[in-house]
Chain A
């Protein structure tokens, strides 16, 4: 999997998509393939549907990482154009799917950080939906602080790790 770790630009920013948009009511899904005994030996690898792809290129489209401020899930001004470019591309290519991977920095509780990463992924998802991308094109996954882009316990590492990665799927 290719990861583009563009340098985090650290300047104060204001959020265009401020506030906490109201969330659709979530109903619990029916039980999944439930108690199938998968005795450890399976390592459900990539399926044909979610294999990572190279995706489009271009000045904005080759940027695949959206960065966030501490404890925030709003898209910063410096990332709006990146999200908009991907949204426009996806709206024009309705068969293309992406996975939005939300991440948090390492501070605080791990499961709470899963929530923060999800909140960031959902912010990008909603921004893309507003710009004409279809729901079926977008999935989110949150890794919380479990998959840092860079190691380290300083502000620079934290800033690089608070992110949503836009992963194009085959």
Chain B
């Protein structure tokens, strides 16, 4: 009890409680022909940069995408910090396609500004990154991730998702005496912060569209309830503690409503829409089967959800504000659940049963084809990166829950290993302003 209260207080103050599990990235598969790039150490701003190696962060981000292979620093013959100082031919001879250089400058009240230049050494042309990034105290890592996002976009043509956050659930201890933490970390697993710790299950975290809040399910009062918590201040509200199940919260794109699953005391799970300001509740599905795990289309007009009304779990689509009955959208395999709509609304990530394994697939909502992206036996909880290029998911490795990301073409994947305990239910947060 005492310990819990302390953990809550720490969470409320936005300070880090001890984290069960620190994540570490391993690239498990990359493209066959990764792009060679050199990220030269940046000109530092001592002591304002706090010793943070911005170039190393950018390099690690780019390599973690599986699409780049970075030159070792020990092989660098010179260390330019501006585009004009780059000896294009020399870097090209050392088999680089691109070189990134940059500078940090200290500003007022502890801020640091990051400037970076990207040069294609095959053509000799600079690729404009368009901006510089100013970071307040303690925010330099985030500025480095933003620079990596820009480099990634200039080369690949898709905005990177490095300057984003993930949330996940960490579990410690043996059943039935387990402890649960809800953790928020940078997308590379750094800076994990415990925002809730309980000795009863925490599940189904969901980011608000502005990235400020998490909705989740907690069993702390012995039955399930849905909470909404401000990630920075720790302040939270219990928004649904009705009789029976309160589960599977997901935010409407305008951030004003939650779709969630309620059962009432009769035990029939259906999807409802809860207006957060007025607490008004509207029933969306009405079927004796299990209806749950709603996900909104980006325009908010439609939800996709899991239902076993046909006998086994499949995904259905319901157009809100229409009297049409839900339409089934998955037909491949005997088990499809936990839909998540891609940021462009054109694809659905699902948990699908294939060859006896629970795996993550992406279904094209246009032509209905399903591509299975993982090969595990117990993969689950897919969540799209805000750029739509990657999916983060939970899998099992050596009997423990681990997190993985996979690109939606299935080509690149990486594993976020926890050094202790078990991690699960990752959700990728939105781009932050």
B236 on the A face (CB < 8 A)? yes
CB distance from A41 to the nearest CB of B (A): 5
- Answer whether residue B272 sits at the interface, using C-beta atoms and an 8 A cutoff: yes
**How distant is B313 from chain A, measured CB to nearest CB, in Å?**
6
Of the candidates B204, B219, B351, B378, which one forms a contact with A143 in the assembled complex, judged by CB atoms under 8 Å apart? Answer: B219
A43, A109, A140: the one within 8 Å of B220 (CB): A43
Q: Are B292 and A115 in contact (CB under 8 A)?
A: yes
Q: Which of A108-135 contact B (CB under 8 A)?
A: 108-112, 114-116, 118-119, 121-122, 125
With a CB–CB cut-off of 8 A, which chain B residues contact A31? 279, 281
Q: Is the CB of A3 within 8 A of B176?
A: yes
Give 24 CB contacts A-B under 8 Å. Answer: A3-B176, A26-B263, A28-B281, A31-B281, A33-B241, A38-B227, A39-B236, A41-B9, A41-B12, A45-B1, A108-B337, A108-B358, A110-B203, A110-B380, A111-B292, A112-B292, A114-B248, A118-B245, A125-B267, A140-B267, A146-B201, A147-B200, A150-B175, A153-B396
| Interface: A37 (CB within 8 A) | yes
Contact pick for B222, options A26, A38, A46, A150, CB 8 Å: A46
Which of under 10, 10 to 19, 20 to 34, or 35 or more describes the interface residues of A? 35 or more
Cα distance, A28 to B260, chains bound together (Å): 12
**A23–B268 CA distance with the chains assembled, in angstroms:** 7
Is A60 located at the chain interface by the 8 A CB criterion?
no
Closest 4 CB pairs of A and B: A115-B290, A26-B264, A146-B201, A109-B337
B164 within 8 A of A: no
Q: A38-B236, A108-B335, A110-B425 are in contact. Are A44 and B220 (CB under 8 A)?
A: yes
Are the CB atoms of A36 and B237 closer together than 8 Å? yes
For chain A residues 14-41, which have a beta carbon within 8 Å of chain B? 20, 22-29, 31-41
The number of inter-chain residue pairs (CB within 8 angstroms) is 183
A22 with B175, Cβ < 8 A, contacts A39-B235, A118-B245 known: no
Size bin of chain B's contact surface: 35 or more
Give every chain B residue within 8 A of A54 (Cβ-Cβ).
none
B383 at the A interface (CB under 8 A): no
Contact A109 B262 (CB under 8 A): no
Q: Does B261 contact A (CB under 8 A)?
A: yes
Evaluate contact between B175 and A40: CB separation under 8 angstroms: no
Q: Contacts A23-B288, A31-B281 known; A151 to B245 CB distance under 8 Å?
A: no
Which residues of chain B have C-beta atoms less than 8 A from A140's C-beta?
244, 265, 267
Contact of A40 among B178, B222, B236, B335 (CB under 8 A): B236
